[in-house]
Amino acid sequence: MTAYIARRVLLMFPTLLGILLVSFVVVQFAPGGPVERVIAQLSGADTGASRVSGSSSGGDFGNRAQPGGAADAVNSKYRGAQGLDPDFIKNLEKQFGFDKPAPERFLLMVWNYIRFDFGKSYFRDTSVVQLIKEKLPVSMSLGIWMMLLSYLISIPLGIRKAVRDGSKFDTWTSAIIIIGFAIPGFLFAILLIILFAGGSFWSIFPLRGLTSDGWSQFPWYWKIIDYFWHITLPLLAMALSAFATTTLLTKNSFLDEIRKQYVMTARAKGCNERQVLYGHVFRNAMLIVIAGFPGAFIGAFFSGALLIETIFSLDGLGLLGFESVLNRDYPVVFGTLFIFSLMGLIVGLISDLAYMWVDPRIDFEARDV
């Protein structure tokens, strides 16, 4: 087991390096960039995200911009740079690190990331780590509670459907689950707002944020109530499709195991249905559910979170990543990519270890990575 874990940890380094390299190469061929973004701000043609918080560098750049001649505009490699001093453009390139060749910039980025130095945002007066810390509580609230709610309901429901396969209970619950899966999360979110957040019917739940104004002054028990009051609608909107996936996966997994020979043997030996189900079938059937946990866990933070965060005015990681891509805020883009990829690899390793906890017969030492 120790050797397997060591191999998996060592393989994380080339995996992360490959992810960063591919992303870095793609960015080099993508149109636009932070220099063009500043030039667009100066020319009034900025098309970046409108919700960039913190201090923007555009104002300061504007104070330093000096008009240049027509030759400068012809020689400039940046669209919209007509009339700007070439020295000003060079200063922009130096500030953003584009005065160095691409290979040198990539190696410098890798060296910094090895030391977990992710730099500062180009357009916000704060570090990448601080930005993630500010946005992480929102995404964690949505992701963790969605996972818990999904698994706590879907796994027992899937087992029940497998045991009563073909019954009326199985039929009508399958119909509800499939309908729920077919409804997009953002559309269901809008429906919840219309029904329960003052859209047209009842005004039961709040529409913005995770807490009310003055939350820090509330008694501890009222803080908990207020928190769940705010998170109810976003959580339901995100968890709708997750119920279907986990429930049907659990049901089909249990059905496959129930039909195997060892189950018939256990029954022939006198085991009751509960002993068969939880003593023999459970640990085998749950392997496939556990296999999907890393992807579901990481997806709980990012899949569909952007639209849900926007609809419910939640400033989380999904919105941060989207705005960073629009604004060409590369330190935030690459920093979050590195952190999220590392989280995915670690959760994948934890998932493999959970395999052994569910079924001790699995021998990691006897298999290749």
Each domain of the chain, given as residue ranges in start order, spans 17-123, 129-366
What are the pLDDT digits (tens) for 214-223? 888 888 888 8
* 68: confidence class by pLDDT, cuts 50, 70, 90: very low
- The answer to whether the beta carbons of residues 2 and 19 sit under 8 Å apart is no
- The answer to whether the beta carbons of residues 243 and 153 sit under 8 Å apart is yes
What are the pLDDT digits (tens) for 285-337? 877 777 666 666 666 665 556 778 888 878 888 788 888 888 888 888 898 88
* 21: confidence class by pLDDT, cuts 50, 70, 90: very high
Query: Could you tell me the CA-to-CA distances from 168 to 174, 175, 200, 235, 366 in Å, in that order?
Result: 10, 11, 35, 29, 45
Assess whether pLDDT exceeds 70 at residue 368: no
* Residue located via tokens 């601080």: 130
Tell me which of 35 and 156 has the higher pLDDT: 156
The predicted model gives 159-177 an average pLDDT of: 89
Assess whether pLDDT exceeds 70 at residue 174: yes
* 14: confidence class by pLDDT, cuts 50, 70, 90: very high
Q: Any idea which fold 129-366 has? A: MetI-like fold (1.10.3720)
Assess whether pLDDT exceeds 60 at residue 42: yes
Q: What is the pLDDT of residue 80?
A: 56
Q: What is the pLDDT of residue 77?
A: 65
Neighbouring CB atoms inside 10 A of 74's CB total 8
Share of the chain above pLDDT 90, in %: 4
328, 306, 290: which is closest to 31 by C-alpha? 328
- The answer to whether the beta carbons of residues 290 and 354 sit under 8 Å apart is yes
The predicted model gives 190-197 an average pLDDT of: 86
Q: Is residue 226 packed enough to be buried (19+ CB in 10 Å), middle (13-18) or exposed (0-12)?
A: middle
Tell me which of 58 and 180 has the higher pLDDT: 180
